[in-house]
């Protein structure tokens, strides 16, 4: 834990190195100091079809950070700030960047490793 899932406007692939975005966000979660580095998982998905507001926003990045319950609000803010600082220089030309921390429902969460 955590899982970082990055959704982004597919058009950003032409102006942004997505793999660097993934690596930097991943490192930001590690830099937060809240997790075992081996437990951090990060992936990104391009969105081809989307509508943003009234049309003046043409691209976006949204990072959802899913964690197990038990962190304080301050720790969650520490996490979003660490990830933000790790990606900020890369996303100067992105119209809208958002990050959120979401708690997983622990009783229904299942993980099986081999």
The pLDDT score that the predictor gives to residue 23 is 98
Q: Are 87 and 42 in contact (CB under 8 A)?
A: no
pLDDT value of residue 12: 97
Per-residue confidence (pLDDT) for residue 113, from 0 to 100:
81
For the chain, helix (H) and strand (E) counts, in that order, are: 2, 4
What are the residue ranges of helices labelled H in the chain? 18-31, 73-87
Cα–Cα distance for residue pair 18/70, rounded to 1 Å: 31
Q: What is the pLDDT of residue 7?
A: 98
| pLDDT attached to residue 52 | 85
Residue 11: C-alpha distances to residues 23, 80, 100 (Å):
19, 24, 22
| Residue 55: predicted pLDDT | 74
Longest Cα–Cα distance of the chain, Å, equals: 47
Report the run of H or E that residue 103 belongs to, with start and end: strand 96-103
Domains and CATH numbers, the chain: 3-108 (3.30.429.10)
| pLDDT (tens place) for every residue of the chain, 114 residues total | 899 999 999 999 999 999 999 999 999 999 999 999 999 999 999 999 988 888 777 899 999 999 999 999 999 999 999 999 999 999 999 999 999 999 998 888 888 888
Tokens of residue 34, six digits: 């809240």
According to DSSP, the residues that pair with 66 across neighbouring strands are 3, 102
HSE-CB for 49 with a 13 A CA cutoff: 0
């Amino acid at each position: 834990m955590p899982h970082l899932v990055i959704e982004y406007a597919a058009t950003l692939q032409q102006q942004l190195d997505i793999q660097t975005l993934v690596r930097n966000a991943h490192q930001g979660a590690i830099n937060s100091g809240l997790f075992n580095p081996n437990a951090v998982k990060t992936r990104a998905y391009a969105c081809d079809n989307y509508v943003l507001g009234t049309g003046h926003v043409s691209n976006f990045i949204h990072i959802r950070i899913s964690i197990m319950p038990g962190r304080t609000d301050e720790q969650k803010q520490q996490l979003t700030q660490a990830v933000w600082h790790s990606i900020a220089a890369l996303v100067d030309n992105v119209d809208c960047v958002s990050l959120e921390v979401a708690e997983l429902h622990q009783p229904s969460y299942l993980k099986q490793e081999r």
